[in-house]
Amino acid sequence: MAMNKVEICGVDTSTLPKFTYKESMALLERVKEGDEEARNEFLNGNLRLVLSVIKRFSGRGEPPDDLFQVGCIGLIKALENFDMSHNVRFSTYAVPMIIGEIRRYLRDNSAIRVSRSMRDTAYHALRVRNQLIDETGTEPRLEDIAKALELPVSEIVFALDALADPISLQEPVFRDDGDAVFICDQISDESANCDRWLDNIAIEDGLSRLSDREQRIIKLRFFRGKTQTEVANEIGISQAQVSRLEKSALTRMRKYV
User: 58-117 pLDDT, tens per residue?
Assistant: 766 778 888 888 989 999 999 988 888 877 788 888 888 888 888 888 877 765 555 677
| Least confident window among 79-83, 198-202, 216-220, 244-248 | 198-202
Overall pTM > 0.85 = no
Mean pLDDT over the full length of the chain:
77
* Residue 30, pLDDT score: 92
Say how far apart CA 98 and CA 10 lie, in whole Å: 20
Q: Which spans in 150-256 are helix H?
A: 153-162, 195-198, 201-208, 212-218, 228-235, 239-254
> Which pLDDT score, from 0 to 100, does residue 198 have?
43
